[in-house]
Structure 1
């Protein structure tokens, strides 16, 4: 890809982002006005209200980091590549590949990576670019994620998901983010604690619940000019104390806006 084409992609991506951010400005401004200007809604008071609503969470950082948007071409990344796969059948549907092993693989459900680390490196397309994610994995699904400069892809587009049943893995589903590139302008992100406050003030976290974990990762923001733009996102895993049900919530790490879950 020549430099001029990259410049045009970045320019179009910035225009698309500007349009999107205009739409989210009102939501962000309301959050900032509530958390920063109202004496009755200071950070300490909001956190006390969270506690009174029996919402528990671990230690959350106040540290603000710098981050970047990431852009990737929206193409059929698996075109012709599945021919490399051996001893498995596959289907390529909507930029996602589903493969079934000719012979099922047995794993220890408590330590599935002892086998799957080798499987993903040797039998999955571009498998060496994925890393095991213990937070997203369960006893029935083992998840590996791509990373962009050390930050994981918390979107199915950049994950390999092995389905496990009674210690048997019959196949996997794979998404792949091709040629991810940072947009050049860096921006300051909100802290994990500020993201929790945003969730609470937008009524996206119910009382009597526990924040199991908080992750910073990339999720899909929008598509423009046959490219996909990914944004740093605070992702929360929230378990209801009453029902045990788990809900995932997302906060845009740049704007503090609530995002749809993937």
Structure 2
């Protein structure tokens, strides 16, 4: 196959993805709720207060920037094979299994941590030296789970400081509470390669905009507590094995009955995408 022909194939593929993204973006704008945030005259903070909805801190009006981001989900065996000798040394403290895009590493000796507040520090010290591409992962407090009997610490890849909250880019350590100490036997890992912007950097809707959208669409119940708000990339599209991510606001809430709820708002369109399915395109 000639070089010129290869160039044309890549050009057409890239053009197709961009046209598809533009259609998604325009469609999402058209799909917005008929209730416009600008039509609400009372400040969102006051409306939250009127409904006994609490939030510690201040809702930010800052408009950050982000990208449509493309990445390739990695076959973990292939990642290991890129530098077998070095990776064999990194993973020589146990047994490693590969299941397509996921790696599971079981330690020969269990990982003990005495104090709960030392879990993150101890795990970070381990994964920076004992995990493939360990320096590419950053601990995510809000995406971790903390139970009485089990704690799941999550670290993810990031792009220009914004984490990727998706199963394709996670490092997970699960600790069980046994006899007043925290014990971990293994970890799981996924990895995304070739993270690349598909379009120029774009301005995002603010944290306050996202809360406003959730409120006027009745997604925040009265007497709820907004526990945290986090900007992160989320998967919206898979094009012939290539993932496409967009920045989104993740909002975690506790209702009056103590049940938990997480809502997701597309930071480009300010549209709620909590239950949206990932579009998959095989041909374009």
- TM-score when normalising by structure 1: 0.86
**Equivalent position of 1:114 in the other structure:** 121
1:112-168 deviations in Å (ceiling 9; x for gaps):
133211211122111111112222234411111211011111223222110010100
For 1:76 and 1:218, how far apart are their aligned partners in 2? 21
Q: Which residue of 1 aligns with 2:163?
A: 152
Residue 239 of structure 2 corresponds to: 224
Who is 2:200 aligned against?
185
SS at match of 1:90: strand
Secondary structure at 1:236's aligned position in 2? strand
Q: Distance in 1 between matches of 2:274 and 2:78?
A: 29
* 1:155-195 CA-partner distances (Å, limit 9, x unpaired): 23222110010100111121211110112322221010000
Q: Of the candidates 207, 225, 234, which is equivalent to residue 222 of structure 2?
A: 207
Q: Which has the larger radius of gyration?
A: 2
Question: 1:76 matched to which residue of 2?
Answer: 75
In structure 1, C-alpha distance between the alignment counterparts of 2:168 and 2:73, rounded to whole Å: 11
Work out which of the residue numbers 32, 35, 47 in structure 1 matches 2:37.
35
Mapping 1:231-250, distance limit 5 Å: 231-243=246-258, 245-250=259-264
**Which structure 1 residue ranges, 5 or more long, are not aligned?**
none
Matched, 1:50 2:48: yes
* Equivalent position of 2:281 in the other structure: none
Q: In structure 1, how many angstroms separate the alpha carbons of the residues matched to 2:118 and 2:218?
A: 37
User: Who is 1:87 aligned against?
Assistant: 93
Q: How far 1:77 moved relative to its partner?
A: 4.4
Which segment drifts farther, 199-208 or 9-18?
Answer: 9-18
> Does the CA contact (< 8 Å) of 1:35 and 1:43 recur in 2?
no
- The answer to whether residue 154 in structure 2 is matched with residue 143 in structure 1 is yes
For normalisation by structure 2, the TM-score amounts to 0.80
Shift of 1:19: 3.2
Q: For residue 92 of structure 2, give the secondary structure of its aligned residue in structure 1.
A: coil
1:80 to partner: Cα distance: 5.7
| Counterpart-to-counterpart distance in 2, 1:43 and 1:94 | 51
Supply the RMSD in Å over aligned alpha carbons. Answer: 2.5
Asked if structure 2 preserves the Cα contact closer than 8 Å seen for 1:64 and 1:188, the reply is yes
CA contact (8 A) 1:131 1:145 kept: yes
